[in-house]
Amino acid sequence: MAMITQKHRAFVSEPMLEKPVTAVPGIRPTLGRELQKEGITKVHKTRKADVRQTLLAGANSQQANACTQALQEWTDNTLRPLCV
């Protein structure tokens, strides 16, 4: 299992609101700029499956895993309690 970073802990424990896409673990400034060129500027825009493919296409495997894990954990923490 990947090491949990401070960026990950902060991301999964807070609302997305208008966070920049670079707030997602695994998305560093270089990848963030590429995503912004594609119009993906905010975290909430990463929720669609087609956007995730674009997002992960420019990431290495470690970045892709960090990003996927954080988005899944955020979803589990935030949305699952609403379904109970």
Kindly report, residue by residue over 45-57, the tens digit of the pLDDT.
Answer: 766 666 667 666 7
The model's pTM is 0.73
H helices of 1-84, in order, are 6-13, 29-37, 49-57, 61-78, 80-83
Higher pLDDT, 3 or 62: 62
Task: Say whether pLDDT at 82 is over 80.
Answer: no
Percentage of residues of the chain with pLDDT beyond 70:
80
Task: State the Cα–Cα distance between residues 21 and 23, nearest whole angstrom.
Answer: 5
CA distance 74 to 34: 23
Report the candidate in 78, 71, 76 with the shortest Cα–Cα distance to residue 27: 71
The pLDDT value recorded for residue 14 is 86
